[in-house]
Structure 1
């Protein structure tokens, strides 16, 4: 485990899958506590819930595990029904990343991890060289994921941290605000239908802070399909900015007073309400993660974009660089 520190945060990084394994932040009384779910380091090789992992080579879902690029069809092994989820059964979440040394930066520390995915791994074309840099400065954790290829390929990379700002138990009281006036409805396989639907008048209208339980209780066929929230929201320009990054989400936990703001350069953010946690995941402190006892906010490109020419392109070609930037800003109200 690699430890990074600033005056406000303590961060633990596990090289297996370049994972965000620990994140401690103070509550409104100054008491420090864990705000992400993490495993004992020796348990990550068996993890199938993507806890804190760098996911890819294609985050989220590819319909039928198949896409066509430059006239050639490619097959990715299905690992969720007929779909390829997060790069298929052999994804970056189980890659052995090589970690460089911890270096000092103004206000904190940083580390860079590297991995090369060979041409043809899980059916994806091209040798993909991936770097993941975690930088902690004051109350902020910056995650930069970059990739280059030697052949045309498709890429969608993100971090899959599970958050709980109160430290444990159901997250239904967390108040979520998403800077998005559209979302992507999905079919029974959780593949986008292609529509960018307005959130207005639905439980997906999270443009004002809404408790997770209140949104779920409103009822909607899309919530039934996914068992809760598990949808991509189209990030708009209604929130604050930090340079090239736009605010995608803001979450407040009223008991602890902790807040989380997520900023990114990606076009979408996947909001997942922990519907598939079932108590089988044993955390590093011995607790079990039950249904909806954590949530995910995953900045990324849209699911199934390789099969949706109307979506923003996820094609990466030699000489180009894919880059995903995520800023997690912790605070209190």
Structure 2
């Protein structure tokens, strides 16, 4: 069967205009539905030994994407993850960003790029179908300097690769660090504690009580943070206060081409997700703040550890840590990232 891309509009009164949804299908059971609100993944269905299931977390009520307390599926930025006290200094000037996570700045701010409509269009080339999203952000938006533009393109091929290509630039120096915030549960329901994770990273970033990096990069060996070999997510999670919400360091710099950084496998269904990225590391978050209070797709409760995030990007709070890879992008220079989500069945 051929690759296809289809488009429809969702009339939801809570939004100030219709939401455009695109569905990419590879003709072999893999499909991903994307939204122009937040340049987001709204659904991702993958085949397994138990049939085809949605392997991402979604809201039963689409209007919840407006507030989106869990950042389901969205593109986050201008700067992903946390910035301590929402502050950084640049050329002698201190910038104060929106504080939307206690004392700190998280995922681009209260609205950021994830809670806005993006311009969008679908396309098809030999061997791929895709959708491109574009957004502009004015100087001072959420406290960031410069007029900013970002472009995010999703593509799907017949083999089962979903590729996300990011490009962004600003007319002023400033931090740029984008990622996608999809939650995965390869079983399609229940929790993820029995699913096996491998992270190609020998170090992680230590954090304080507010999850802000201390600057230390301990080795994972001999600790509950060691995922160098496949390990059930729940095996040692109780040894980590609050659960996993840390950044694993795969390398000290961005790579020229995507390299394998994480593998997630559900032993029962055989579904396997490999994450390849140009980024130096990945934030692994084990869904610690999900509490069952909100209903997900098909009315399922969004229970604690009901899904995990694997967010490839540059180190969190890097703008305040000279020893980390830099997130500072000079005016009119381009930021790029490529990440590949590769699905298969074993």
Distance 1:216 1:163 in 2: 17
Distance 1:16 1:41 in 2: 11
Aligned to 2:327: 314
The answer to whether the 8 A contact 2:84-2:212 is kept is yes
The answer to whether the 8 A contact 1:106-1:137 is kept is no
Aligned to 1:176: 197
Q: Aligned to 1:213, what secondary structure does the other structure show?
A: coil
Aligned to 2:316: 303
Q: Aligned to 2:37, what secondary structure does the other structure show?
A: coil
**Are positions 1:228 and 2:243 aligned together?**
yes
The answer to whether the 8 A contact 1:156-1:314 is kept is yes
Distance 2:206 2:305 in 1: 21
Distance 1:201 1:7 in 2: 44
Q: How far 1:14 sits from its partner (Å)?
A: 1.0
The answer to whether the 8 A contact 1:179-1:236 is kept is no
Q: How far 1:82 sits from its partner (Å)?
A: 0.5
Distance 1:286 1:99 in 2: 29
Greater mean alpha carbon deviation, residues 51-60 or residues 88-97: 88-97
Aligned to 2:16: none
Aligned to 2:288: 275
Aligned to 1:57: 78
Q: Which runs of 5+ in 1 are unaligned?
A: none
For 1:35-54, list aligned pairs within 5 A: 35-39=55-59, 40-54=61-75
Distance 2:319 2:43 in 1: 33
**Are positions 1:68 and 2:81 aligned together?**
no
Deviations 1:128-170 (A, max 9, x none): 1011100001211001121011111111100000000000111
Q: Which runs of 5+ in 2 are unaligned?
A: 1-20
Q: Aligned to 1:251, what secondary structure does the other structure show?
A: strand
Aligned length: 321
Distance 1:172 1:245 in 2: 27
**Are positions 1:111 and 2:126 aligned together?**
no
Scaled by the length of structure 1, the TM-score of the pair is: 0.93
Q: How far 1:88 sits from its partner (Å)?
A: 1.6
1:253 paired residue among 257, 263, 266 = 266
Aligned to 1:12: 33
Q: How far 1:319 sits from its partner (Å)?
A: 2.6
Residues 332 and 52 of structure 1: CA distance in aligned 2, closer, same or farther (over 3 Å)? same
**Are positions 1:143 and 2:160 aligned together?**
no
Aligned to 1:263: 276
Aligned to 1:156: 177
The answer to whether the 8 A contact 1:270-1:298 is kept is yes
Residues 74 and 38 of structure 1: CA distance in aligned 2, closer, same or farther (over 3 Å)? same
**Are positions 1:192 and 2:213 aligned together?**
yes
Q: How far 1:243 sits from its partner (Å)?
A: 7.5
Distance 2:78 2:294 in 1: 24
The answer to whether the 8 A contact 2:172-2:332 is kept is no
The answer to whether the 8 A contact 2:256-2:278 is kept is no
Distance 1:10 1:95 in 2: 24
Q: How far 1:279 sits from its partner (Å)?
A: 1.4
Aligned to 1:2: 22
The answer to whether the 8 A contact 1:113-1:131 is kept is yes
